[in-house]
């Protein structure tokens, strides 16, 4: 039994194609803007697919009230699949008085859901805040499959230390080497990046990261790679958050930009649904 929330409606066709008929659920809004949900199907186990991208808060609340409706309807085991988890970058207190926002979200979801699967969560450590079983779904297979033919020989690059595990996993699947840059964030919109000791002269490079927001990280990494003599530069990223104009800015300087379909964008060409449903071998 699969329920697709409003936040994942862009994946509905693909989920239906793979899983067949979906559960019967009514989701609408009251005139004052509050969400209304009603579950018409019944059963014992259910999987809810709900992304929490724009509007983030509304989609989180919808996941909670869907959980409540499903329990009310008698479902015993609830699994939540989250293509994009909002608040995942608010994972630490940097100024006194701040919350660990992702903790609040994960604890709240844990009131209703027994299992949680999140695609490429920004900091996998934070999944421990979810009280039940929580799994970080890797995008590595999907990204590697998409770029296999395009990249040929080359190298996979993480734009910062934090992205190394993901880049390594993609490189392993492609049978290629991997490396990383050192990144220092100067402000929310500005980063400084230093190359490490790698030779990209005449080589194709695939930059792999979890999120593109302003595009600053990828733009900086690309300009360094061009100076170092890289041949073709491909970008494979999990979540295309894309601040205003970021798609155009990044597309202009790279040979191809592709993100997964956790968030619907004009460049969401990498299909993550089989991985999210645990179907890609
Ligand atoms: C940072 O740690 C993340 O992995 C991304 O590199 C970052 O969020 C990208 O942001 P932007 O596109 O604004 O540079």
Calpha distance 200→222 (Å, rounded): 12
Percent of the chain with pLDDT over 70: 99
Place 192 in a pLDDT band, splitting at 50, 70 and 90. Answer: confident
DSSP for residue 250 = H
The closest residue, in CA terms, to atom 3 on ligand 1 is: 211
pLDDT of residue 75: 98
Calpha distance 165→279 (Å, rounded): 22
Residue 44 φ/ψ region, left for φ over 0, alpha for ψ in the -120 to 50 degree band, beta for the rest? alpha
Q: Which of 22-31, 183-192, 251-260 has the lowest mean pLDDT?
A: 183-192
- Span between the terminal Cα atoms of the chain, in Å: 22
Calpha distance 187→212 (Å, rounded): 15
Place 281 in a pLDDT band, splitting at 50, 70 and 90. Answer: low
Whether residue 23 is predicted with pLDDT greater than 90 in this model: the reply is: yes
Pocket of ligand 1 (CB under 6 A): 159-160, 162-163, 191, 209-217
> What residues are annotated to the active site?
183
- 85, 167, 217: which to mutate for ligand 1, most atoms within 8 A of CB? 217
What is the chain's mean pLDDT, rounded? Answer: 96
Q: What is the mean pLDDT of residues 30-41?
A: 97
DSSP for residue 266 = T
Query: Which atom of ligand 1 is nearest to 220's Cα?
Result: 14
Tokens encoding 36:
């209304």
Q: What is the mean pLDDT of residues 24-40?
A: 97
Cβ–Cβ under 8 Å, residues 41 and 19: no
């Amino acid at each position: 039994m699969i329920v697709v929330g409003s936040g994942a409606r862009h994946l509905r066709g693909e989920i239906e194609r793979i899983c067949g008929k979906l559960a019967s659920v009514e989701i609408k809004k009251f005139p004052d803007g509050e969400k209304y949900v009603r579950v018409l199907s019944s059963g014992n186990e259910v999987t809810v697919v709900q992304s929490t991208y724009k509007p983030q808060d509304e989609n989180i609340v919808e996941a909670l009230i869907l959980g409540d409706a499903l329990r009310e309807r008698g479902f015993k085991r609830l699994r939540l699949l989250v293509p994009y988890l909002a608040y995942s970058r608010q994972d630490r207190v940097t100024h006194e008085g701040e919350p660990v926002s992702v903790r609040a979200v994960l604890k709240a979801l844990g009131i209703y859901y027994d299992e949680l699967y999140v695609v490429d969560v920004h900091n996998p450590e934070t999944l421990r805040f979810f009280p039940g079983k929580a799994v970080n779904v890797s995008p590595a297979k999907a990204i590697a499959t998409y770029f296999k033919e395009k990249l040929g020989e080359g190298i996979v690059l993480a734009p910062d230390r934090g992205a190394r595990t993901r880049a390594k996993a993609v490189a392993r699947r492609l049978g290629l080497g991997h490396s990383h840059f050192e990144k220092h964030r100067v402000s929310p919109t500005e980063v400084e990046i230093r190359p490490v000791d790698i030779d990209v002269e005449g080589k194709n490079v695939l930059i792999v990261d979890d999120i593109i927001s302003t595009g600053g990280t990828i733009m900086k990494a690309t300009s360094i790679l061009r100076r170092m003599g890289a041949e073709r530069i491909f970008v494979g990223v999990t979540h295309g958050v894309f601040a205003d104009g970021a798609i155009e800015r990044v597309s202009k300087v790279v040979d191809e930009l592709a993100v997964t379909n956790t968030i619907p964008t004009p460049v969401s060409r990498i299909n993550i649904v089989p991985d999210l449903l645990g179907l890609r071998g």
